[in-house]
Amino acid sequence: MSSTKRKPSRVKSSRNGKSKKGSRPSSPNKPSQDSIVSVLAESRVFNPPKSFSRTALIGSEQQYKKIWRDSVKNPTKFWAKQAKEQLEWIKPFKKVLTWKPPFAKWFEGGKLNVSVNCLDRHVRTEKRNKAAIIWEGEPGDTRVLTYHDLLREVSKCANALEAMGVKPGHRVAIYMPMIPEIAIAMLACTRIGAMHTVVFGGFSSEALADRCNDSQASVVITADGGFRKGANVPLKKNVDAALEKTTSVKNVLVVKRTGESVTMKPGRDHWWHDVVPNQSGHYEPYAADSEHPLFLLYTSGSTGKPKGILHTTAGYLLGATISAKYVFDLKETDTYWCTADAGWVTGHSYIVYGPLANGATAVMYEGAPNFPDWGRLWSIVEKHHVSILYTAPTAIRACIKAGDEWPKKYNLKSLRLLGSVGEPINPEAWIWYHEVIGGKRCPIVDTWWQTETGSMMITPIPGAIPQIPGSATKPFFGIDPEIVDKNGNPVPKGQGGFLVIKKPWPSMLRTIWGDDERFKAAYWSQIPGMYFTGDGARQDKKGNFWIMGRIDDVLNVSGHRLSTMEIESALVSHDLVAESAVVGRPDDLKGEGIICFVTLKAGISPSTEVKDKLSKHVVTQIGALARPDEIRFADALPKTRSGKIMRRLLRDVAAGKQSTQDTTTLEDLSVLANLRQDED
Ligand code: PRX
């Protein structure tokens, strides 16, 4: 890959993983609601290597531009063509789009089945015995499932679920480790036409109970446990605790993974190995309407209650399929690996649906990247000859910190393309990824998207678009983003603003489960007629997009979204706490760290013991992902005269910065002074 115009940027590129403090551009300070000041200047450009472009599906910028321009000029024509070409239909659709903002219906009149698109259509071809999933467990055990194997297992699981009363439209919660059965369970739901809601295995029993209650799931699929850093994650135990607080769940299907002893409740709990293997390996796929609900995935918003994001069948599948195809430039010979957990949208779209719909071979890994040591990721790349690696900046930064000696021990020459997702990738991490992992020969696709968008929205097409460290570059086909001010007017190039999407797209969320009003308020009320992403961004003179981070009260911790309100609610639910405010602080490894300001109830004295108790409480309420990085006690929190906590001031305090923000609405200036003194 050739690099042109290397101008020193604000960000120091370092090879030992140490960045200059405050140099991370991803969340230097959350942009405020009114104005966004963009500070990052990065002008290193990496053109796609000729050898890559020559064989790429889209091999030049002109080709990209032509397809993109046509696609946004006439989106229904573009999407109709793609839907016919990329998907297999049981019944063809009649109408491409019905758009009654903010409600979209795509491909009405059509019928299809997602599992048929991911499995049956390949099993009928020479891909029948091709590896669909190459799985590696944390202890080192491996399994390979061909397309034919996967179809048989999915059909058996669908039969077992049907025997438990699961019908089209029912909700099935999946709370599992990263073992092949998680993909089997997801696909089995789609075969029946039931909706899955995958709950990340790192979430607590409380979080699982909330999601089961909100979705009214009738079945939970889980495992006795999963391996993580050599330890056992007690999934079944968490399910048992969650089910104490739910009434909708009638059956629990349990995979034996760790062999840990678990309690099985007669009549409710069933071992997978007792009920799945002896089912028939055939299940007649449900012919789902295009808009049939496919899955719910809960994500954090700016209020305390997670939102059940609803995706539907045809549109979602089309988005995942064509983005995986063109952004990963998928070839028959590729071995593709996405390191995400299937509990996040990245795992849904780019471990399961996107790669399988394309008939690709996907690697799946159960455990931690540093088990037994920091060479694990690279050993997997070497062992399975991974050619496409898709991971997150937080993992890249952790690997930089662990040292170059780990990747250097392994042969990474099989890699031809690298990807990044979850948060802005800071240029120093980009350069390290490019040089140390990609051997300077692999393009990097920095893909911007969200749980809500279903599939990638802004990303380089690797053989066509010059890449710039830190920029997600150009919109994907059919996607029409813009940077606007708070009145919805486009801002001049180079100026920061709100990232919106102007036209509907097939894989967009359809609503928030059971709450159309919240759906309208969260995404469609800020700028009428446009989808409000909640991210600040700017576009440079060449049209490249630079994502600057969330503009709402959502934190991005290790590439995962957490609502500050959710953590505050968890803290306040503890007996000792009177009030709390949670803010993010730039963190070299995690992107953002979680800083909690807490006022204790009268008579309670701050102590390390209290801090530990509160920290554990947050973990129990939400999960280890939400563990506070710091808890600070305060006599009072900075508030406006109307009583609103001024989080922007707290963000400065947390970052150890002198505030340049307007404090005229602050009720009691001494509060801020006291918070600062506490730092000394
Ligand atoms: O702030 C953006 C950030 O992650 C948010 C979406 O989070 P989630 O729904 O959990 O999905 C993560 C995986 C798709 C976005 O609003 N984000 C995601 N990818 C990028 C990013 N920020 C900058 N660059 C990215 N490539």
The pLDDT tens digits of the residues spanning 303-361 come to: 668 899 999 999 999 999 999 999 999 999 999 999 999 999 999 999 999 999 999 99
Look at residues 482, 483, 539, 531 and name the one whose alpha carbon lies nearest to residue 507: 531
Which pLDDT value is given to residue 602? 87
Domain assignment of residue 597, yes or no: yes
- Looking at residues 126-130, what average pLDDT do you find? 98
Best residue for ligand 1 mutational test, from 24, 344, 449 (most atoms within 8 Å of Cβ): 449
- Looking at residues 29-42, what average pLDDT do you find? 55
Residue 38 pLDDT > 80: no
- Looking at residues 385-406, what average pLDDT do you find? 95
Q: Please give the residue that has the higher pLDDT: either 639 or 378.
A: 378
Separation between Cα atoms, residue 87 and residue 513, nearest integer Å: 26
Identify the band that residue 23 occupies on the pLDDT scale cut at 50, 70 and 90: very low
- Quick: pLDDT tens for 94-103: 999 999 999 9
Domain assignment of residue 673, yes or no: yes
Look at residues 598, 603, 592, 634 and name the one whose alpha carbon lies nearest to residue 613: 598
Which pLDDT value is given to residue 1? 53
> 21-30, 236-245, 529-538, 549-558: lowest mean pLDDT where?
21-30
3-state secondary structure of 485: coil
3-class SS shares of the chain: helix, strand, coil, % to 5:
30, 25, 45
Best residue for ligand 1 mutational test, from 556, 562, 590 (most atoms within 8 Å of Cβ): 556
Identify the band that residue 36 occupies on the pLDDT scale cut at 50, 70 and 90: low
CB-based contacts of 165: which residues, under 8 Å, 6+ apart?
A: 218, 250, 251
Which pLDDT value is given to residue 579? 87
CB-based contacts of 678: which residues, under 8 Å, 6+ apart?
A: 632, 633, 634
Separation between Cα atoms, residue 23 and residue 465, nearest integer Å: 26
Domain assignment of residue 7, yes or no: no
Which pLDDT value is given to residue 637? 86
Which pLDDT value is given to residue 4? 46
Q: Tell whether ligand 1 has an atom less than 6 A from the beta carbon of residue 547.
A: yes
Which pLDDT value is given to residue 664? 64
Look at residues 21, 31, 43, 17 and name the one whose alpha carbon lies nearest to residue 540: 43
Q: Tell whether ligand 1 has an atom less than 6 A from the beta carbon of residue 421.
A: yes
- Looking at residues 648-652, what average pLDDT do you find? 86
Domain assignment of residue 275, yes or no: no
- Looking at residues 534-539, what average pLDDT do you find? 95
Residue type, 243: L
Burial state string for 488-527 with b = 16 or more CB within 10 A and e = fewer than 16 = beebeeeebbbbbbbbbbbbbbbbbbebeebbeebbbebb
Residue 659 pLDDT > 60: yes
Nearest CA to ligand 1 atom 5: 450
Residue 551 pLDDT > 70: yes
Which pLDDT value is given to residue 566? 86
Domain assignment of residue 130, yes or no: no
Locate 516 and state its tokens. 């159309």
Domain assignment of residue 314, yes or no: no
Percent of the chain with pLDDT over 70: 90
Nearest CA to ligand 1 atom 22: 423
Q: Please give the residue that has the higher pLDDT: either 179 or 673.
A: 179
Q: Please give the residue that has the higher pLDDT: either 565 or 46.
A: 46
Q: Compute, in angstroms, the gap from residue 641 CA to the centroid of ligand 1.
A: 34
Domain assignment of residue 191, yes or no: no
Identify the band that residue 670 occupies on the pLDDT scale cut at 50, 70 and 90: confident
Q: Please give the residue that has the higher pLDDT: either 669 or 78.
A: 78
**Contact of 623 with 203, CB cutoff 8 Å:** yes
Residue 17 pLDDT > 80: no
Separation between Cα atoms, residue 345 and residue 339, nearest integer Å: 12
Locate 157 and state its tokens. 């699981």
- Quick: pLDDT tens for 442-495: 999 999 999 999 999 999 999 999 999 999 999 999 999 999 999 999 999 999
**Contact of 613 with 573, CB cutoff 8 Å:** no
Total of domains in the chain: 1
Domain, as residue range, for 602 = 552-679
Which pLDDT value is given to residue 667? 62
Residue 151 pLDDT > 70: yes
> 17-26, 197-206, 383-392, 616-625: lowest mean pLDDT where?
17-26
pTM of the complete model: 0.90
Q: Tell whether ligand 1 has an atom less than 6 A from the beta carbon of residue 240.
A: no
CATH number at 593 reads 3.30.300.30
**Contact of 447 with 421, CB cutoff 8 Å:** yes
Q: Compute, in angstroms, the gap from residue 102 CA to the centroid of ligand 1.
A: 22
Look at residues 520, 505, 631 and name the one whose alpha carbon lies nearest to residue 568: 631
Instruction: Give the count of alpha carbons within 13 A of 109, CB side only.
Output: 8
Domain assignment of residue 579, yes or no: yes
Largest CA distance in the chain: 73
Identify the band that residue 415 occupies on the pLDDT scale cut at 50, 70 and 90: very high
Q: Tell whether ligand 1 has an atom less than 6 A from the beta carbon of residue 335.
A: no
